[in-house]
Structure 1
Amino acid sequence: MHALLWFKQDLRLDDHPALQAALSAERLLPLFVFDPALLQPGEYGMRRLGVHRTRFLLESLAALNGALRQRGSQLLVLPGRAEQLIPRLVSRLGLDQVLTLEEIAPDERAQLERVQRGLGEVPLQRLEGNGLLRSAELPCAVDQLPAVYSQFRELIEQRLQVFQPQAAPSRMPPLPEGAEALMQPLPGLSRLGLGEPLSVPASAFPFSGGEAAGQARLRDYLWESRGVRHYQQTRNQLLGSEYSSKFSPWLANGSLSPRRIVVELRRHEAQAGRNDSTYALWLELLWREFFRWTLVRHGAALLRAGGVKATERAPRRLDQRFQRWCQGRTGLPLVDANMRELAATGFMSNRGRQVVASYLINDLQQDWRHGAAWFEEHLLDYDPASNWGNWAYLAGVACDPQRSRMFNALRQARAYDRDAAYVSLWLPELRHLPPHLRHTPFLLPQRQLQALNYPRLEQIPETWRPYLPKAA
């Protein structure tokens, strides 16, 4: 058999079911298709792929190519549309089969169908492999899974899952004849029209893309620094690279397998003992799994304004306040600092994401889908299920028995940035204010705010009164 192995959001050799199935091929062509359309504005005016995630993707592809070359193969990266390129390659090289991992998001599933139609009689074999659980391992049918996370967690935890990921192979089948002539260097960011992002020393994610980097982070967090032992106490922090696992960017593009993480976590617990922190990390992986199956179950309904509840109560307004939110110019320092960190680095803490999303939805009353699209463009760790699922959850249109999850943004600032160190880092214009005023510059006289070149907050919610400086 001469086959094509189509990599997408699965840029690893470890625990890769489609790769394992392809090892029996006599000749094998590993392929990644880069669609330039992802760099163009989409439905909500934002690109589906921004500069930070593109950089991380290119690093991951270079690492994958290096790992394949060490095993006697090579990665072909081509620009274009998969439904056009793959049938053309199959015909040109006389390939018998295409193997890839299954997708769960509507656009990606539709693309798989288009590729299959283009292949005609040549089979497209799809294998499950980017989640914790395969469909056959679920305790019930997908449409019977609980719609609320706590019930989903209880159901899954009733039976302990024992994962056995297969390690990366030591050798790969050789390339098909004629494939080497097609190889070309990876495009750079400048060639893609994106420009090089500035290096930011304060980044909470100062890591590189690729499977080796993801595996190194896994070893460090669980075995060397053993940061996982303190995850429960540090997970809501805002500064530094060690307050959380930072596994999510590698999980998002498939450089790191969630099953591998769980196997290593269980091994860590067996040797060092289970505590609240190791269990909390497991619960976060279950959240990821919950949103994956929610997307499988509801499909495009999860992406609509009213979500899976089809509610008309979700805000659909979009005005200049959304642009100020994107720019980090709302006048509320905690929100602005998080949004500027995202724009500068492509990363934001879990606590920050909840605060800025709740603020956009509940305080600014803007259409949550535009916030989700902004995250899609800018987040290093964008994942369709987790991103759109979390936004829908906070908007109260999916996965939550409550209408919405509303955060008091000033209370969050006082609780998680008590000394204003975080806002001081990302909002240099406020650094010279007394610390007790750095979260509340809207209390300053208008002339002083103008001198700082910081916007004035339009209104102060009554619920913020207990968290204002005592003299206010």
Structure 2
Amino acid sequence: MRRLLLWFKQDLRLDDHPAVSAAVDADEVLPLFVFDPTQLAVGALGSRKLGVHRTRFLLESLAALDGELHQRGSGLLVVFGRAEEVVPLLVERFALQEVLTLEEIAPDERQQMAALRGALGHVPLRELAGNHMLRPDELPCSLEELPQVYTQFRELVEQRVPVFQPVSAPTRMPSLPSGSQELFTALPSLSQLGLGEPVGVANSAFPFSGGETAAQARLRDYIWRSQAVRQYKDTRNGLIGSEYSSKFSPWLANGCLSPRRVAAELRRHESMYGRNDSTHGLWLEMLWRDFFRWTLVRHGSALFRAGGLKATERAPDTVDQRFEQWTQGRTGMPLIDANMRELAATGYMSNRGRQIVASYLVHDLRQDWRHGAAWFEEHLLDYDPASNWGNWAYLAGIGSDPRHQQVFNTLRQARQYDPDGSYVSLWLPELRSVAPQLRHTPFLLPHLQLDAMGYPRLQEIPETWKPYLPSAA
């Protein structure tokens, strides 16, 4: 009799899951998720790995996966602790002969896999292909030869367009090991985890739930029903609403959605309706995600250092009250504050917003980029180590790209992407009474008027903002 442990991590789905596919012909399988409570503690950079929004999304995704497993004659065991301690105990208790899971790419997770392998002794730990879109044999060259610049990576990949054939979820799962049912308990609430319950926000750009069912529904809606993917290029820099972008990223980050499934559906859509700049644009974003993942595999812990991948570059290492003002949405620059308050309230922020607030923290406030990346790690629903830290390093000018720092003129960005101040007024209620042409520059208002609103005054107006100030100023 073949008995297995199926260890889920950031791969909370059954569709196109290599470890699930490898487990379906076993006699007994124990599906497991290990919740490490240390992720709720404050780390060295002052933030937690799991904040309230990420934890909510995770719990929803676990509940959805448990439901999918129950429909197939199984269930999901959620245990608190460290995997290298929990897994060997379960393997011994139920005489399990092998542990199946997906491979990891980040240094800490790889260390944990090595520790678990040692703790398992003679019981094999089998790692199957992870959450990349491109598998190792689909890369255009060896990992060591892979270009360190995205445009070169993209050009090489597109010379030989890969064919994606994702494997559908099984209709049945093997039965649970005898006696394991007594270990199953209800998932904890956010309050029980010490996080409190977040208040629902009507303005959220991500009004969706975690889990594979919600992910598949969004995939169908965006690519097939509304076909909003065909306008992606025109809307992707939006700031308000759920439809300016695909919103796939939280489900991709938690593994509720397979990147290969997204690519396959996108290709199928293009075969039926034709390729345009927008469908190709979404493909390029999926490639960006893979580029950062393979960059992390190649460089490991170097991506998380102060100097990033360019040890010769000097990035700011200051952390003072300006960082706290940035996290609280109290800098005095409305576009920055609106984005940061949206993140705190909902766990989401637009791609355009992320670039602007990151550039502002590093280049205008001269703060340590790693603290910004860690703040994003705690709060973003779609936190992914490769994309998050890779993008921050890129904007700080210490990534692998040969270009220098990516510096945004914040007021110019505000005028271009929120011309009437509607986004700012959505998240900064204290500025709603201000005339639209002044919502991005409340620092020009009389002191008494601004103080009465309770909004902080910007202390210094950069010289580069002068062309974008109101003409009467």
1:174 matched to 2:198? The reply is no
Q: TM-score, normalised on structure 1?
A: 0.99
Q: Distance in 1 between matches of 2:100 and 2:433?
A: 58
Match of residue 383 from structure 1 = 384
Match of residue 61 from structure 2 = 60
1:456 matched to 2:461? The reply is no
1:430 matched to 2:431? The reply is yes
Counterparts of 1:14-163 in structure 2 under 5 Å?
Answer: 14-163=15-164
Q: Distance in 1 between matches of 2:387 and 2:404?
A: 19
Q: Distance in 2 between matches of 1:293 and 1:311?
A: 22
Match of residue 416 from structure 1 = 417
Tell me the amino acid that sits aligned with residue 61 of structure 1: L
Select between 63-72 and 127-136 the one with higher mean Cα deviation: 127-136
Match of residue 328 from structure 1 = 329
Counterparts of 1:397-408 in structure 2 under 5 Å?
Answer: 397-408=398-409
Q: Alignment partner of 1:126: what SS?
A: strand
Match of residue 343 from structure 2 = 342
Q: Distance in 2 between matches of 1:233 and 1:311?
A: 38
Q: Distance in 2 between matches of 1:81 and 1:174?
A: 25
| Pairwise CA distance, 1:128 | 1.1
Tell me the amino acid that sits aligned with residue 36 of structure 1: P
Match of residue 266 from structure 2 = 265
Tell me the amino acid that sits aligned with residue 456 of structure 1: R
Match of residue 7 from structure 1 = 8
Residue by residue over 1:46-79, the C-alpha shift from the partner in whole angstroms, topping out at 9 and shown as x without a partner, is 0000000100000000000000000000100011
Q: Distance in 2 between matches of 1:444 and 1:279?
A: 45
Q: Distance in 2 between matches of 1:401 and 1:229?
A: 32
Q: Distance in 2 between matches of 1:320 and 1:129?
A: 40
Q: Distance in 2 between matches of 1:163 and 1:441?
A: 51
Q: Distance in 2 between matches of 1:371 and 1:443?
A: 28
Q: Distance in 1 between matches of 2:302 and 2:44?
A: 16
For structure 1, which runs of at least 5 residues remain unmatched after alignment?
Answer: none
| Pairwise CA distance, 1:181 | 1.1
Q: Distance in 2 between matches of 1:43 and 1:111?
A: 19
Q: How many residue pairs get matched?
A: 472
Q: Distance in 2 between matches of 1:399 and 1:275?
A: 30
Q: Alignment partner of 2:309: what SS?
A: helix
Match of residue 187 from structure 1 = 188
| Pairwise CA distance, 1:109 | 0.7
Tell me the amino acid that sits aligned with residue 341 of structure 2: R
Report if aligned partners of 2:315, 2:368 keep a CA contact under 8 Å in 1: yes
Report if aligned partners of 1:149, 1:399 keep a CA contact under 8 Å in 2: no
Counterparts of 1:272-283 in structure 2 under 5 Å?
Answer: 272-283=273-284
Residue by residue over 1:423-458, the C-alpha shift from the partner in whole angstroms, topping out at 9 and shown as x without a partner, is 000000000011111000011122221111111112
Counterparts of 1:248-327 in structure 2 under 5 Å?
Answer: 248-327=249-328
| Pairwise CA distance, 1:311 | 2.9
| Pairwise CA distance, 1:137 | 1.9
Q: Distance in 2 between matches of 1:381 and 1:84?
A: 28
Match of residue 165 from structure 1 = 166
Select between 138-147 and 197-206 the one with higher mean Cα deviation: 138-147
Report if aligned partners of 2:57, 2:210 keep a CA contact under 8 Å in 1: yes
1:246 matched to 2:247? The reply is yes
Q: Alignment partner of 1:4: what SS?
A: strand
| Pairwise CA distance, 1:312 | 4.1
Residue by residue over 1:93-122, the C-alpha shift from the partner in whole angstroms, topping out at 9 and shown as x without a partner, is 110000000000111111111111110110
Q: Distance in 2 between matches of 1:428 and 1:295?
A: 40
Tell me the amino acid that sits aligned with residue 314 of structure 2: R
Q: Alignment partner of 1:99: what SS?
A: strand
Residue by residue over 1:354-396, the C-alpha shift from the partner in whole angstroms, topping out at 9 and shown as x without a partner, is 0000000100010000000000000000000000000000001
Q: Distance in 1 between matches of 2:123 and 2:155?
A: 42
Q: Alignment partner of 1:125: what SS?
A: strand
Q: Alignment partner of 2:127: what SS?
A: strand
- What is the percent sequence identity of the aligned residues? 71
Q: Distance in 1 between matches of 2:273 and 2:181?
A: 48
Report if aligned partners of 1:58, 1:186 keep a CA contact under 8 Å in 2: yes
Q: Distance in 1 between matches of 2:149 and 2:439?
A: 38
Match of residue 225 from structure 1 = 226
Q: Distance in 2 between matches of 1:209 and 1:272?
A: 30
| Pairwise CA distance, 1:143 | 1.5
| Pairwise CA distance, 1:129 | 2.7
Report if aligned partners of 2:313, 2:398 keep a CA contact under 8 Å in 1: no
Residue by residue over 1:134-175, the C-alpha shift from the partner in whole angstroms, topping out at 9 and shown as x without a partner, is 112212111211111000100111101001110000000001
Q: Distance in 1 between matches of 2:217 and 2:459?
A: 46
| Pairwise CA distance, 1:127 | 0.6
Match of residue 352 from structure 1 = 353
Q: Distance in 1 between matches of 2:25 and 2:116?
A: 23
Q: Distance in 1 between matches of 2:320 and 2:459?
A: 14
Q: Alignment partner of 1:6: what SS?
A: strand
For structure 2, which runs of at least 5 residues remain unmatched after alignment?
Answer: none
Q: Distance in 2 between matches of 1:264 and 1:312?
A: 41
Q: Distance in 2 between matches of 1:77 and 1:127?
A: 21
Report if aligned partners of 2:317, 2:369 keep a CA contact under 8 Å in 1: yes
Q: Distance in 2 between matches of 1:310 and 1:213?
A: 42
Report if aligned partners of 2:104, 2:130 keep a CA contact under 8 Å in 1: no
Select between 296-305 and 16-25 the one with higher mean Cα deviation: 16-25
Q: Alignment partner of 1:308: what SS?
A: coil
Report if aligned partners of 2:11, 2:131 keep a CA contact under 8 Å in 1: yes
Tell me the amino acid that sits aligned with residue 103 of structure 2: E
Select between 409-418 and 446-455 the one with higher mean Cα deviation: 446-455
Q: Distance in 2 between matches of 1:3 and 1:99?
A: 7
